[in-house]
Structures are given as structure tokens and as C-alpha cells.
Amino acid sequence: MKLLQWRPIRAKNKKLWFSSIPQQNPNPIHSPLFDNLAQLCHQKDLQKAMGVMNVIEDHHLRADPITYSSLIKLCIENRAVNEGRRIHRHLSDDGRPPKLFLSNSLLSILAEANAVFQRMKERDVISWSTMISGLAQNGRSIEALRLFESMKAAGPKPNYITMVGVLFACSHAGLVEDGWKLEEALNFIDSMGFQPDCVIWRTLLGACRVHRNSCIAVHAAKEILKLEPEDEGTYILLSNIYADSRRWNDVEQVRKAMRDQGVRKEPGRSWMEVGKKAHVFIVGDFSHPEMDCIIKELNRLIGRITDVGYVPDVKFVLHDLEESRKRNHLGITARNWRLP
């Protein structure tokens, strides 16, 4: 048996000696830390998961891409931007580019998503679509539409997610002159290689409401009703569109179709949680025990917004209501409300 003899190493030789040692694989086949991290992601415990990430970073380890993807998704769900940046730095520190699908996930959370996108050497349809949707949802609709044009020039074929992102961008107010017109959006839908669903048509319908395009709105509403013939909201909206154009025969046809389908308009409702207790409010219902205080506060808030120039949009409120009742329906005249 050969004995090993320990001898001190001079400082100037330490770096050379250390660099000559064969390095172990920094990405071991398995580590209990990775199992722990995956379990915490499954349990949606972001705080503890990031604690395990600290240990992984301290030991210069790198988990498998699936685990990182789960952690990034957890950050997205919690809108944890700073944690997402940390993950991005960790994945970039060793000089190895993240897997493509990890880069796609990072695009959804990082504030500097455009920088991440620009650094990606490889981009697929998910890369482009995620970026387009992110821009559209953050009010940068013109940039989203320009990026879509770049995507078409680059070659990837748009998919369902691309379509939703583009239509969402179209629904942003102020794009009448710049960006796409609704006719182009409709042509875009028709040119896709798959059947649009209700999400697509509702997104287009939302754009029509913003831009007051009743013609395409009617087309979108009819397509929704083909797919979901009992969708009460679309019937009501279609009836209001016809009424706004004074197409009273069409209004009656829509209401007849509602009766034939057995569709009834349910009262609108909303709820909020205060002190871990849910409070439900229904249109026309004044039975809440604190209604006096609620109306007093509404009077104060609505008074403030109307004083600074807010004008209610009554265009899509039921047309068989008088104008004053429409405004009451929206709660805008709450300063004059009285309990029945």
C-alpha cells in the first residue's frame, strides 16, 4: 500500500496546484437539493424554494432544466421579478446559454425581457409570441405589432398565442392611425391555418368595442355564438350593437334567439374581501347591512372622478334603458343615490 505524504504548498504554487486537480463534474447526476427544490416548486412555496436556490448557488451546482422551468413559472405566478432576475443570472454565470425553453420562460418575467430576447441566438415561435404578448399586455401595442412584422420576416409561422397577442395589441386604444386596422386583424385570423376559438373572437370583439367598429363586431359576435350558442353576454352585446345602429329588427331577432335558446341575462355581480370576509354585490340589490356607508363612500369617490372630467361610457349598456338609468347602471350618478 502506498502512503500519501502531506507537505505544505507555497502560496505562489497554490493556484497552479489547484488548477491541476481534475475537476469533478459541476453538474452531478443527482442531488437531494434538486429533489427538495422540485418539491417546493410543486407546493408553490416560493420563499423556501429560493432558499434552496441559495444553497445550490453556493455549491456552484446546476439543476436540471425542468426544475428551473418550474421555479420560473412559480416566480411568474407570484410576480416575483427580482427572484426571476436572480435565476437568470444564475443560469448565465457559468457561460453556458440556457436551454431554449428556459429562455422562453425567462421572457415572461424579466423586466429587461427585450435584452434577454436580443441575446437569444436561437428564437422559435414561442420566443416571438411570448415577447409580442408581453409587450401588448403592458401597453406597448405598437412595439408588439412591429415585432410581429419582424417575426414574419424572420420566418417562424405564427401560432395561436401569436394571434391572441396581436389581437390584444389591436384592442389598445389609440391604434386607429398607427398599427393594425381591424380589417387587417380579421384578415390575419382568416389567413391562419387553424380554426379560431372563442378566445380569438372575443379578443377581436374587444378591439371592435374600443374602435367602435360595429360591422366586424357583429361578425365576431356571430362567430362566438356559433361556438357557444348559450353565451348570454355575447347576445346582449350583439343586441346593443344593433340598437346603436338603430337596426331594431335585428335587435328583435337577437332577443328572439335568446328566448329560443332559453338564455337569460343574469344580474351582474362583484365581490371583494375585507378582513378575510367576502362581500358580494348584485346590480340593483341594496340589502347589504352596511349599504349606507358604502353609498356614502361611493358618492365621495365618484364625485372626485367626475370632478376631474371622467365621462361614463354608456354605449354598451342595455339600450332599452333610459340614458339616466344607463348612467345609474354604471354607478356614475351614485352621488345622487338614495336607498329605496
Quick check: is 4 in a domain? no
pTM score above 0.75? no
Single-letter residue type at 123: R
Task: Name the residue range of residue 87's domain.
Answer: 35-120
* Residue reference for cell 425581457: 113
> Does one domain contain both 112 and 135?
no
In this structure, are 147 and 94 located in the same domain?
no
Helix axes 65-77, 100-107, angle to 10 degrees: 10
Residue 305: per-residue pLDDT: 84
DSSP, collapsed to helix, strand or coil, labels residue 278 as strand
Domain end among 120, 138, 169:
120
Based on the fold, state whether residues 146 and 223 are members of the same structural domain.
yes
Cell numbers 422562453 label which residue? 104
Model pLDDT, residue 27: 47
The answer to whether residue 149 is domain-embedded is yes
C-alpha cell at 17: 496546484
The residues near 255 (Cβ < 8 Å, ≥ 6 apart) are 235, 239
Do residues 130 and 212 both lie within one domain?
Answer: yes
Q: Which of 67, 100, 120 is the last residue of a domain?
A: 120
Q: How far is residue 149's CA from residue 4's CA, in Å, rounded to a whole number? A: 68
Taking Cα atoms as reference points, which of 59, 123, 53, 125 lies closest to residue 82? 53
Residues 164 and 138 in one domain: yes
Q: Does 111 share its domain with 135?
A: no
238 in any annotated domain:
no
Judged by DSSP in three states, 318 sits in: coil
pLDDT at 117: 80
- Give domain status of residue 248, yes or no: no
- Residue 90 and residue 159 in one domain: no
Grid cell 343574469 in the structure block, residue: 266
Query: Count of CB atoms within 10 A of residue 181's CB?
Result: 16
pLDDT of residue 26: 45
Q: 214 and 132 share a domain?
A: yes
Q: What are phi and psi of 275, to 5 degrees?
A: 60, 40
Residue 11 lies in a domain: no
Q: Does residue 253 fall inside a structural domain?
A: no
- 140 and 45 together in one domain: no
pLDDT at 223: 92
Would you state the pLDDT for residue 5?
Answer: 36
Q: Assess if residue 26 is contained within a domain.
A: no
Per-residue confidence of the chain (340 residues) as pLDDT tens digits? 333 333 333 444 333 333 333 344 444 445 688 888 888 988 888 889 888 888 888 887 887 888 888 888 888 777 676 687 778 777 776 556 666 767 666 666 654 567 778 778 888 888 898 888 878 876 678 888 889 889 988 888 888 888 888 888 877 655 554 445 778 778 878 887 778 888 889 888 877 877 778 888 889 999 999 998 888 888 888 888 888 778 889 889 888 888 888 887 776 677 777 776 777 778 777 888 888 888 888 889 888 888 888 766 555 554 454 444 445 555 544 444 433 3
d(C-alpha 167, C-alpha 207), whole Å: 7
266 three-state secondary structure: coil
Q: Are residues 136 and 224 in the same domain?
A: yes
Residue 249: strand, helix, or coil = helix
The C-alpha cell at 319 is 339600450
Query: Residue 224's pLDDT is what?
Result: 92
What gap in Å lies between CA 23 and CA 34, rounded to an integer?
Answer: 21
Quick one: 128 and 223 in the same domain? yes
Shared domain check, 127 and 115: no
pLDDT at 28: 44
DSSP run (H or E) holding 107: helix 100-107
Could you please report the per-residue DSSP string of 136-201?
HHTT-HHHHHHHHHHHHHH-PPP-HHHHHHHHHHHTSTTTTTSS--HHHHHHHHHHSSS---HHHH
Listed residues 120, 142, 163: the one ending a domain:
120
- The pLDDT assigned to 229 comes to 87
Using DSSP, state whether 302 is helix, strand or coil. Answer: helix
Task: For residues 201 and 223, give the distance between their C-alpha atoms in angstroms, rounded to a whole number.
Answer: 7
The angle at the Cα of 229, spanning 223 to 230, to the nearest 5 degrees, equals 135
Give a yes or no: residue 1 inside a domain.
no
Q: How many domains does the chain have?
A: 3
